[in-house]
């Protein structure tokens, strides 16, 4: 049905443009040409977007088959090794409770404990994160066996204890569950209290140590001290000092939990000191490593991409798993089978060897029930990415993604590798491509073995590990270019995925129930717009860089190229849409105005074209399993983005092309919330920034246009036919206001809890504009001539 409707719309659009070119009749030809070019742009971009969704492909992981093939009867497993990356920067913008819940969910996931290691990157070098991770490792000693004993889901304690609905009990000790649950919740509340008081405890401890140790040493007067009271923290101090501030501190690496043994180790039996009985449960914990890379003035540290490349090198020297999965600090494992699900596609005998990454959709907690600001973005994840799954695969979207390590090393996929081994090696590697670490380079052949299931003991020294974390390590190498995650573009995730697709790799989109991973999203209007600004600005940066899809070679599938062109040029639409937004201003001036004549035929074409778009949208939400609300929110926030955000993205790329820094992209802040009412409090906060102004102007223009039309009707005593003719033009104004409805609620703050107030305000504004027009008409006779905007 979607293909048939697409064909119908293409035919109608061709007839429409043919008709317009034969009827070049308008009251302002310069506007007519802009409208023709704009309609052509939207027609072409819509078609390019649509053809990439004509072959959607749903992939379902066969976890039971994976178990049958790789799990052994004695409890062992042949599953491959896996490294898990989690990144955070600021414990304020990214609350520690979220980050530590992410860590706990990873440590408790259903994957052989000896076969995966977790690397926690603290890019702020904060002692709060370091000691928070220690507390999480301590709490995990009880939480992880509890999860295994009772098979609880999800395995992030904050989400688990807040869940209102739970499935049937699937554990091995139903009679002990209620008591264990009560004790575990009490232990978790204690853990939260210790985590919450950590910053104050560190500050008090440091002040005491400074008084005791720094009386005669000025350099120690503001030091931050570790828990032993005798060691100064090497990272960022509470009171910044030289060598101990953000952007300037040495590298820190600490193994919090060692590599576990191969054989299961049962936990402790219940006792007065330890009331939870884990005597029949494997109590081992996976390897956990804390990383804070070196930072020095004069270096561009490349934010998240730079931190992940350090994780890539350090993990290669310690565990060197063939597969890597990455998380943002606010995302947690919601389905303990998620790691196994991704491995299903990586080991798929059909095209698994050519799969560079498996991307899971992003799902969010704490979003308001109506998803006012389209945080779930279901049309993108469940329609666009599902369509790409039938071509070369989805793009990388920053988190919840499993990678093949050698693909990040710029290796060719098997289907594109030369037959001759020497030629293959020469085509991949260049001198000093990976840096000067011999151990790292020697680790690469083992990383290519996807069937490697037995971890090798790390033999590198501390000096070599520290060297891999220095700022200077990447000088003169291909890191951030053809190796690892890409630098110097705001959307390093999309660009990195594009680089892999350009090399010939494919990817897979995997959605599962329950959701594999969940996280937090900005439900404040301003924060959400800043997030979209970063995405749209980064997309344009990509198009005007050496990663432009038009420049890719033959290994990139033609339809995949089209998809990336759409992903990187969509902000350009703002130019034409803003022109359409401002057409209603014609109502404020005198004279009759027709953009296209004859109007009746023009209106008929527009109605048919819009109707086919809506019908295609209905078909899409059906095969993608979405709701009508998902589709409406997507349409609304696209329009909101084109009014204020995309113009700023265009300005950013213009400034960059002139050699100016451009717009600074703000990191999306996440607020720690408590109960359901408190969780939605952020929705009603109003943060007035220049980014909001253009959309407010567009709303004002459309309201004023409706009011001016009403005033003209009163002054000139329009007939029913004239009112009907004007109404056909005003439909556009009303439609724009409906699409901007979420934005209007957002700027109302707490008043938006009563949406009827917005209706009263709009009606009052229209009435005031009409009254003003009537009042002015008596003193300014030239306003009487009337106008029709079509």
DSSP character string of 157-173: HHHHHH-S------SS-
- Compute the mean pLDDT over every residue in the chain, rounded to the nearest whole number: 88
Q: Hey, where are the domains in the chain?
A: 63-212+220-542
pLDDT in tens, 21-75: 999 888 778 888 988 998 899 999 999 999 998 889 999 999 999 999 998 887 7
What is the enclosing helix (H) or strand (E) of 332?
strand 332-333
Annotate 732-752 with b (16+ C-beta within 10 A) or e (fewer): bbeebbebbbbbbbbbbeeeb
CA distance 565 to 41: 13
Residue spans of alpha helices (H) in 292-337: 303-318
Q: How far is CA 344 from the centre of its chain?
A: 24
Q: Which helix (H) or strand (E) holds 365?
A: strand 364-365
Model pLDDT for residues 757-766, shown as the tens digit of each residue: 999 999 999 9
pTM: 0.92
What number is the average pLDDT over the span 298-327?
A: 96
- Quote the crossing angle between the two packed helices 599-623 and 628-640, to the nearest 10°: 130
Kind and range of the H or E element at 704? helix 693-716
pLDDT for res 789:
42
User: What average pLDDT does this structure show over 558-581?
Assistant: 90
Mean pLDDT of 179-199: 95
Q: Is the dihedral of CA 20, 25, 27, 30 positive or negative?
A: positive
Of the pLDDT bands very low, low, confident and very high (cuts 50, 70, 90), residue 464 is very high
Residue that wins the pLDDT comparison between 3 and 581: 3
Per DSSP, the residues of 34-50 read: HHHHHHHHHHHHHHHHH
Q: Where are the alpha helices (DSSP H) in 197-283?
A: 198-213
Top mean-pLDDT range of 113-127, 436-450, 686-700: 113-127
Span 694-750, pLDDT tens digits = 999 999 988 988 888 888 888 888 888 777 766 766 777 888 899 999 999 999 998
Overall average pLDDT of the 433-451 stretch? 91
DSSP per-residue string spanning 445-459: HHHT-TT--SPPPP-
Tell me the C-alpha distance between 552 and 567, whole Å. 15
Distance CA 731, CA 739 (A): 12
The more confidently predicted of residues 624 and 285 is 285
Round to whole Å and give the CA distance between 133 and 288.
9
Using N-to-C axis directions, what is the helix angle for 741-748 and 628-640, rounded to 10°? 70
* Residue ranges at the known binding site for UDP-alpha-D-glucose: 94, 123, 303
Give the range among 156-165, 276-285, 511-520 with minimum mean pLDDT.
Answer: 156-165
Nearest Cα neighbor of 339 from 115, 59, 68 is 115
Strands 323-328 and 401-404: antiparallel
Q: What is the pLDDT of residue 426?
A: 46
CA angle 84, 493, 128 (to 5 degrees): 50
SS3 call for 372: coil
pLDDT of residue 29: 86
Contact 699, 672 (CB under 8 A): no
List Cβ neighbours of 623 (8 Å cut-off, separation of 6 or more). Answer: 2, 56
- Active site residues per annotation: 123, 493
- 104 DSSP assignment: H
Quote the tokens at residue 67: 């178990």
Residues in binding site for Mn(2+): 304, 328
Strand order in the sheet with 364-365: 332-333, 517-520, 364-365
Mean pLDDT of 423-452: 80
Phi, psi of 745 (to 5 degrees): -65, -40
Lowest mean pLDDT among 97-106, 549-558, 694-703: 694-703
Say what percent of the chain tops pLDDT 70: 91
Strand partners, 402: 325, 358
The CATH number of domain 63-212+220-542, selected from 3.90.550.10, 3.40.50.300, 3.65.10.10, 3.30.2320.30: 3.90.550.10
Dihedral pair phi/psi, residue 659, rounded to 5°: 85, 10
Q: Which of 455, 402, 119 is nearest to 257 (CA)?
A: 119
Q: Which of 51-60, 480-489, 578-587, 698-707 has the lowest mean pLDDT?
A: 578-587
């Amino acid at each position: 049905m979607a293909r048939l409707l697409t064909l119908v719309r293409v035919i109608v659009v061709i007839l429409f443009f043919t008709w317009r070119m034969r009827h070049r009749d308008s009251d302002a030809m310069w506007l007519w040409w802009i409208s023709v070019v704009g309609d052509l742009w939207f027609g072409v971009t819509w078609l390019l977007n649509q053809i990439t969704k004509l072959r959607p492909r749903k992939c379902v992981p066969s976890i039971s088959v994976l178990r049958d093939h790789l799990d052994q009867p004695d409890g062992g497993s042949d599953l491959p090794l896996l490294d898990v990356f989690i990144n955070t920067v600021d414990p304020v913008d990214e609350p520690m409770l979220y980050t530590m819940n992410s860590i706990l969910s990873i440590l408790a996931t259903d994957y052989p404990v000896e076969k995966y290691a977790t690397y926690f990157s603290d890019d702020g070098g904060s002692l709060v994160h370091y000691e928070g991770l220690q507390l999480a490792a301590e709490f995990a000693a009880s939480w992880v066996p509890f999860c295994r004993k009772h098979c609880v889901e999800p395995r992030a304690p904050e989400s688990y204890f807040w869940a209102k609905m739970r499935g049937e009990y699937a554990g091995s000790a139903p009679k002990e569950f209620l008591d264990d649950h009560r004790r575990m919740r009490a232990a978790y509340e204690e853990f939260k209290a210790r985590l919450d008081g950590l910053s104050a405890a560190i500050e008090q401890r440091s002040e005491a140590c400074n008084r005791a140790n720094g009386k005669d040493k000025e350099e120690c007067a503001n030091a931050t001290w570790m828990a032993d009271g005798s060691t100064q923290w090497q990272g960022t101090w509470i009171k910044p000092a030289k060598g101990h501030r953000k952007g300037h501190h040495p590298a820190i690496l600490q193994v919090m939990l060692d590599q576990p043994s191969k054989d299961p180790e049962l936990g402790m039996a219940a006792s007065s000191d330890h009331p939870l009985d884990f005597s029949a449960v494997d109590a081992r914990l996976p390897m956990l490593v804390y990383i804070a890379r070196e930072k020095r003035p004069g270096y561009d540290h490349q934010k998240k991409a730079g931190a992940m490349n350090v994780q890539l090198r350090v993990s290669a020297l310690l565990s060197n798993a063939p597969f890597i999965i990455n998380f943002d600090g606010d995302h947690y494992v919601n389905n303990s089978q998620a790691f196994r699900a991704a491995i299903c596609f990586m080991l798929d005998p059909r095209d698994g060897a050519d799969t560079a990454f498996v991307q899971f959709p992003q799902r969010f907690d704490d979003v308001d029930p109506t998803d006012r600001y389209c945080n779930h973005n279901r049309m993108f994840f469940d329609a666009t990415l599902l369509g790409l799954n039938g071509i070369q695969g989805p793009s990388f979207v920053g988190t919840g993604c499993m990678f093949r390590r050698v693909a990040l090393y710029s290796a060719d996929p098997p289907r594109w590798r030369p037959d001759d081994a020497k030629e293959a090696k020469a085509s991949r590697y260049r001198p000093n491509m990976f840096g000067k670490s011999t151990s790292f380079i020697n680790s690469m052949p083992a990383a290519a073995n996807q069937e490697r299931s037995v971890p090798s003991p790390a033999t590198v020294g501390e000096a070599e590990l520290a060297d891999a974390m220095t700022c200077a390590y990447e000088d003169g190498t291909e890191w951030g270019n053809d190796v690892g995650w890409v630098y110097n573009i705001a959307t390093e995730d999309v660009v990195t995925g594009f680089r892999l697709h350009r090399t010939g790799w494919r990817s897979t989109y995997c959605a599962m129930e329950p959701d594999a991973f969940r996280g937090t999203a900005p439900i404040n209007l301003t924060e959400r717009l800043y997030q979209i600004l970063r995405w749209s600005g980064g997309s344009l940066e990509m198009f005007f860089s050496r990663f432009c899809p038009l420049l890719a070679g033959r290994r990139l599938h033609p339809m995949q190229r089209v998809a990336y062109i759409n992903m990187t040029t969509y902000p350009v639409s703002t130019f034409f849409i803003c022109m359409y937004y401002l057409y209603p201003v014609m109502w404020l001036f005198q004279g009759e105005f027709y953009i296209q004549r004859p109007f009746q035929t023009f209106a008929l074409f527009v109605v048919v074209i819009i109707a086919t778009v809506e019908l295609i949208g209905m078909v899409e939400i059906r095969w993608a399993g979405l709701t009508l609300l998902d589709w409406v929110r997507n349409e609304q926030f696209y329009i909101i983005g084109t009014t204020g955000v995309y113009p700023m993205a265009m300005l950013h790329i213009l400034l960059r092309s002139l050699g100016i820094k451009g717009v600074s992209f703000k990191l999306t802040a996440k607020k720690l919330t408590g109960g359901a009412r408190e969780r939605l409090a952020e929705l009603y906060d109003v943060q007035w920034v220049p980014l909001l102004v253009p959309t407010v102007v567009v709303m004002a223009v459309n309201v004023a246009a409706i009011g001016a039309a009403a005033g003209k009707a009163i002054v000139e005593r329009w007939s029913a036919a004239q009112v009907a003719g004007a109404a056909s033009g005003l439909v556009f104004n009303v439609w724009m206001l409906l699409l901007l409805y979420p934005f209007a609620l957002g700027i109302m703050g707490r008043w938006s809890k009563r949406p009827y107030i917005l209706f009263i305000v709009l009606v009052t504004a229209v009435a005031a504009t009409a009254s003003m027009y009537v009042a002015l008409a008596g003193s300014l006779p030239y306003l009487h001539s009337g106008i029709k905007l079509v």
